[in-house]
Amino acid sequence: MTEDTYQWPEEAILLSGEPKPEARAQNGNWVGGLFREILSTVLPAVLIAVLMHLFLAQSSVVFGKSMQPNFFTDQRLIVEKVSYHLHAPQRGDVVIVRDPDGGPLPLIKRVVGLPGERVTVGDGRVYIDGLMLDEPYLDEPTEGASRSWVVPPFHLFVMGDNRNNSRDSRFFGPVATDSIMGHAVFRYWPLNELGLPR
């Protein structure tokens, strides 16, 4: 029985890159078959990766010290982009936000104040509507002159965890919710710090 007359069973499966049975008999057409096989395997994979990067999640690298002691330069994070289409950001979320001052790089900050709230910084602490905010992720007081801001609708008050070395809403004001690019949900590098962000 030649390969031309062999009947392939319906439950057979071809491994990626293996030519179809008909192509095996056509010695002169192997280049075209290989090209089609590469296109049918690589192109969908690239397309899926691009769509995931644009709409679902992406890998990001931390740069700078404004989020120490919880995030350091060169740490790698997974930033998801879907949840804020379903619900508003929550207090304590670590977010990636477009630089309100027009800088080329987005900023990583923590949501502190929500729309309609009065955020007050004084006596080394942050107060929301007069109540002291519990911030277990900090390891130093929030220094600076006493000051208050009212967060407008569709805005958030964001701050770095390294309060005394962070350019944040205390300097550029509350940020629009539509400037939030994503939510940092997982740290995957370095491996000894693998896990959910604090």
The answer to whether residue 65 is catalytic is no
Instruction: List, in sequence order, the alpha helices (H) in the chain.
Output: 21-24, 30-51, 169-172
Judge whether 187 and 149 are in contact, CB under 8 Å: no
Q: Which of 16, 40, 65, 66 is catalytic?
A: 66
SS3 111: strand
Strands of the 175-176 sheet, one edge to the other: 57-61, 76-80, 180-189, 94-97, 107-113, 155-159, 175-176
Q: Which of 81, 109, 166, 169 is catalytic?
A: 109
The answer to whether residue 109 is catalytic is yes
Supply the DSSP string of 29-78, one letter for each residue. GHHHHHHHHHHHHHHHHHHHHHHIIIIIEEEEE--SSTTTTT--TT-EEE
The position carrying tokens 């319906």 is: 10
Burial grade of 2 (CB within 10 A; 0-12, 13-18, 19 or more): exposed
Amino acid, res. 170: R
Residues acting as catalytic residues: 66, 109
